[in-house]
């Protein structure tokens, strides 16, 4: 895929096809790596694919192109998702994903900006991405650069206090060139989010912090596209999409299974999963 | 001519020769020099932005804020968010100076500094004030005694502790030109001028006032002035004591350290910081592997500070010229 400056993909079937491919590549690299975060990579896949391929301007041949839109994977453990998307977009050869988590690979267990051009900021310690996204949005605004910033967080992640510091900052500085997403899949490592440390009412919390909040089905491509479009029209305040998702989405035997938060598929599970995704 | 002036006249630096002359000026806090230099840099360089966490009046970034309100971001009492935001600004080509008290900057936001600044190698300048016990009356919660250790342990981080207002001004300019993460530790209290008029700070270069035949005191920050006073007292007692201003603690000026260790059989480090992990720790680590000599560390000895006047606290924690003199005499 070449420079994504124009002719962004709006065809829903094409986006769904890309999302399937991304899911298969996520499972492929996780299976080869033998470890990694399956559930949260799959739950955020549809939103992330829509952001990259329907909205963002970027140039895999020039990852630091100034006019590019920026993407921050604040939930860094979903690294396989961003790697699968970058492979799809042409940032690197597709077989690079087979080096995930291997010694010397640019595809670290959590994204590393110093090793992989196209990753804007290293993440992995939760709660930090939104602050960085705000900083980029402020810098772009100072320069009169119309580029936008996207940031995907996990639902467990918003238990981090820094997220709410950043939430205040975005509203205080009227940052409207940012669109955040909470991948609201309901599960975190130790169990259901509401059982571990409740975050509800999530919509009201973000609204009270001054954000334009959109609740969607995070696996409905049309709803995702509509929300991303709406975010661009909101002026004077930041936008957030609460994407209600299913952890492990796309593979029935991973779905809503807390034990697949941080476990890679076996070879056998991979083969079954790929069949399911193809038949979907 | 006093011994102190003698000592200064012998000043030699590997990079440039100095007259050693210091114009008589009233003591000034390094944070004041920072505020003024940041403002001047801001006038020349539109890429410079500043952030603060509700302490801009104390850290002196308020000067910059008044002149350049669009390039100043008060983040409120939210240090972690401040560091992340600074990293984001750096990623768009800005040169962010993020300031608050040293305790909060390095402690509250350490993980953010580690991940978004050092690991991501973003061009963020952390300039913290209120380092050390001379914070005074606010007490231990506000006295950073571990900040140098915390910052020094991080890959990609440069650590600078200027000795006076003029070195601060020079260091801040150098930091703005340096590409990569830097931690600059400044103080609250007024400090005398100790660096020669024609001195220019170079990252990674120590300034050698004099290498002593008997002992050399390696100092940083406010302890450079105190070390010179100690050297003067020692000279009066027939002990040839040198003084080195090791203002860049990381990367350590290893060449100068080796030169000093080869001449002086005894080295005393002096810092307004815990003896664990700071300047003394750095010097010991390097010399024990490369040129073992006896090293004695002057610093706060694994304890917290307390409220009091800066002068009282320097006495209480053993950071006076008299303490250095005593340590030297007990070690020779």
Q: Is the dihedral of CA B254, B259, B265, B268 positive or negative?
A: negative
**Taking 70 as the threshold, does the pLDDT of residue A2 lie above it?**
no
Residue B330 is predicted with a pLDDT of: 97
Alpha helices by DSSP H, chain A: 12-33, 39-43, 45-50, 79-89, 129-142, 161-172, 193-197, 202-208, 221-233, 267-279
Task: Please indicate, yes or no, whether residues B214 and B66 belong to a single structural domain of this protein.
Answer: no
Give the pLDDT confidence of A205-230 residue by residue, as tens digits.
Answer: 999 999 999 999 999 999 999 999 99
Which of A135, A142, A143, A209 would best serve as a mutation to test chain B binding (most B beta carbons within 10 A)? A135
Task: Please indicate, yes or no, whether residues B205 and B187 belong to a single structural domain of this protein.
Answer: no
Residue B265 is predicted with a pLDDT of: 87
Residue B13 is predicted with a pLDDT of: 41
Task: Please indicate, yes or no, whether residues B43 and B10 belong to a single structural domain of this protein.
Answer: no
Task: Please indicate, yes or no, whether residues B232 and B120 belong to a single structural domain of this protein.
Answer: no
Task: Please indicate, yes or no, whether residues B38 and B167 belong to a single structural domain of this protein.
Answer: yes
Q: Which residue of B has its CA nearest to A119?
A: B120
Task: Please indicate, yes or no, whether residues B183 and B247 belong to a single structural domain of this protein.
Answer: no
Task: Please indicate, yes or no, whether residues B154 and B52 belong to a single structural domain of this protein.
Answer: yes
Q: Which of B91, B93, B96 sits opposite A120 (nearest CB)?
A: B91
Q: For residue B51, what are the contacts with CB-CB under 8 A and spacing of at least 6?
A: B61, B72, B73, B74, B75, B82, B85, B86, B89, B96, B97, B98, B99
Residue B18 is predicted with a pLDDT of: 57
To the nearest 10°, the Cα dihedral for B124, B126, B22, B299? Answer: -140
- Residues B106-115 have a mean pLDDT of 98
- Phi, psi dihedrals of residue A22, rounded to the nearest 5°: -60, -45
Q: For residue A7, what are the contacts with CB-CB under 8 A and spacing of at least 6?
A: none
CA distance A46 to A39: 13
- Residues A128, B90: C-beta atoms closer than 8 Å: no
Find the CATH number of the domain harbouring B229: 3.40.50.920
Task: Please indicate, yes or no, whether residues B61 and B134 belong to a single structural domain of this protein.
Answer: yes
Give the pLDDT confidence of A119-152 residue by residue, as tens digits.
Answer: 999 999 999 999 999 999 999 999 999 999 999 9
Task: Please indicate, yes or no, whether residues B249 and B136 belong to a single structural domain of this protein.
Answer: no
To the nearest 10°, the Cα dihedral for B11, B15, B18, B20? Answer: -40
> Among the three residues B191, B217, B249, which one is the final residue of a domain in this structure?
B191
Task: Please indicate, yes or no, whether residues B256 and B302 belong to a single structural domain of this protein.
Answer: yes
CA distance A171 to B88: 16
- Chain B interface includes A245 (CB < 8 A): no
Domain ranges, ordered by start, for chain A: 12-279
Residue B7 is predicted with a pLDDT of: 38
Give the pLDDT confidence of B246-268 residue by residue, as tens digits.
Answer: 999 999 999 999 999 999 989 99
Task: Please indicate, yes or no, whether residues B10 and B33 belong to a single structural domain of this protein.
Answer: no
Residue B247 is predicted with a pLDDT of: 98
Give the pLDDT confidence of A149-207 residue by residue, as tens digits.
Answer: 999 999 999 999 999 999 999 999 999 999 999 999 999 999 999 999 999 999 999 99
User: What mean pLDDT value characterizes chain A?
Assistant: 96
CA distance A211 to A201: 14
Residue A280 is predicted with a pLDDT of: 83
Say whether B271 is catalytic: no
- Chain B interface includes A269 (CB < 8 A): no
Distance to chain B for A139, nearest Cα, Å: 5
Residue B20 is predicted with a pLDDT of: 74
Domain that holds residue B59: 28-191
Give the pLDDT confidence of A230-270 residue by residue, as tens digits.
Answer: 999 999 999 999 999 999 999 999 999 998 888 999 999 99
Give the pLDDT confidence of B297-312 residue by residue, as tens digits.
Answer: 999 999 999 999 999 9
**Overall number of domains in chain B:** 2
To the nearest 10°, the Cα dihedral for B246, B249, B255, B261? Answer: 60
Residue B267 is predicted with a pLDDT of: 98
> Among the three residues B142, B175, B191, which one is the final residue of a domain in this structure?
B191
**Taking 80 as the threshold, does the pLDDT of residue B173 lie above it?**
yes
Give CA angle at A69 (A17, A133), nearest 5°. 110
> Among the three residues B191, B212, B241, which one is the final residue of a domain in this structure?
B191
Residue A3 is predicted with a pLDDT of: 55
| Fold held by A12-279 | Rossmann fold (3.40.50)
């Amino acid at each position: 895929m070449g420079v994504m400056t124009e002719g962004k993909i709006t065809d829903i079937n094409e986006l769904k096809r890309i999302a399937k491919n991304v899911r298969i590549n996520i499972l492929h690299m996780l299976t080869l790596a033998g470890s990694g975060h399956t559930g949260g990579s799959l739950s955020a896949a549809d939103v992330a694919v829509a952001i990259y391929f329907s909205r963002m301007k970027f140039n895999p041949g020039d990852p630091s192109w100034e006019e590019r839109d920026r993407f921050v994977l604040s939930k860094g453990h979903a690294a396989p998702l961003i790697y699968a998307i970058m492979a799809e977009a042409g940032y690197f050869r597709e077989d690079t994903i087979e080096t995930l988590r291997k010694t010397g690979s640019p595809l670290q267990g959590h994204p590393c900006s110093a090793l992989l051009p196209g990753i804007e900021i290293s993440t992995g310690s939760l709660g930090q991405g939104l602050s960085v996204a705000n900083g980029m949005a402020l810098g772009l605004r100072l320069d009169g650069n119309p580029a936008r910033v996207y940031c995907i967080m996990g639902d467990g992640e918003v238990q981090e206090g820094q997220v709410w510091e950043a939430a205040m900052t975005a509203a205080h500085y009227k940052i409207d060139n940012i669109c955040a997403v909470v991948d609201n899949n309901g599960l975190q490592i130790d169990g259901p989010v509401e059982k571990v440390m409740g975050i509800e009412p999530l919509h009201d919390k973000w609204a009270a912090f001054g954000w334009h909040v959109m609740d969607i089905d995070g696996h409905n491509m049309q709803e995702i596209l509509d929300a991303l479009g709406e975010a661009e029209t909101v002026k004077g305040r930041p936008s957030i999409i609460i994407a209600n998702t299913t952890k492990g989405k796309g593979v029935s035997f991973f779905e809503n299974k807390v034990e697949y938060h941080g476990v890679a598929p076996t070879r056998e599970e991979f083969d079954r999963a790929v069949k399911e995704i193809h038949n979907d | 001519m006093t011994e102190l002036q003698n000592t200064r006249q012998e000043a030699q630096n590997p990079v440039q020769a100095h007259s050693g002359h210091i114009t008589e000026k009233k003591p000034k806090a390094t944070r004041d020099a920072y505020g003024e230099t940041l403002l001047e840099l801001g006038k020349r360089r539109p890429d410079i932005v500043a952030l603060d966490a509700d302490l801009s009046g104390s850290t002196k970034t308020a000067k910059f804020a008044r002149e350049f309100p669009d390039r100043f971001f008060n983040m409120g009492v939210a240090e972690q968010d401040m560091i992340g935001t600074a990293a984001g600004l750096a990623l768009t080509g800005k040169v962010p100076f993020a300031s608050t008290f040293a305790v909060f900057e390095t402690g509250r936001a350490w993980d953010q500094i580690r991940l978004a600044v050092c690991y991501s190698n973003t061009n963020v300048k952390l300039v913290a004030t209120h380092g050390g016990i001379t914070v005074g009356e606010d007490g231990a919660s506000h006295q950073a005694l571990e900040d140098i250790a915390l910052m020094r342990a991080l890959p990609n981080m440069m650590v600078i502790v200027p000795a006076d207002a003029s070195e601060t001004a020079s260091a801040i300019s150098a930091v703005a030109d340096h590409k990569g993460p830097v931690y600059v530790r400044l103080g609250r209290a007024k400090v005398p001028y100790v660096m020669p008029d024609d001195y220019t700070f170079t990252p990674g270069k120590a300034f050698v006032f004099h290498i002593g035949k008997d002992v050399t005191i390696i100092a940083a920050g406010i302890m450079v002035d105190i070390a010179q006073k100690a050297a003067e007292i020692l000279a009066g007692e027939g002990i040839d004591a040198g003084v080195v201003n090791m203002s860049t603690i990381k990367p350590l000026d290893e060449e100068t350290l080796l030169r000093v260790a080869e001449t002086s059989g005894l080295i005393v480090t002096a810092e307004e910081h815990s003896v664990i992990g700071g300047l003394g720790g750095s010097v010991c680590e390097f010399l024990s592997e490369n040129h073992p000599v006896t090293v004695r560390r002057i610093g706060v000895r694994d304890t917290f500070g307390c409220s009091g006047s800066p002068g009282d606290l320097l006495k209480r924690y053993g950071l006076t010229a008299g303490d250095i003199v005593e340590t030297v005499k007990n070690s020779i």
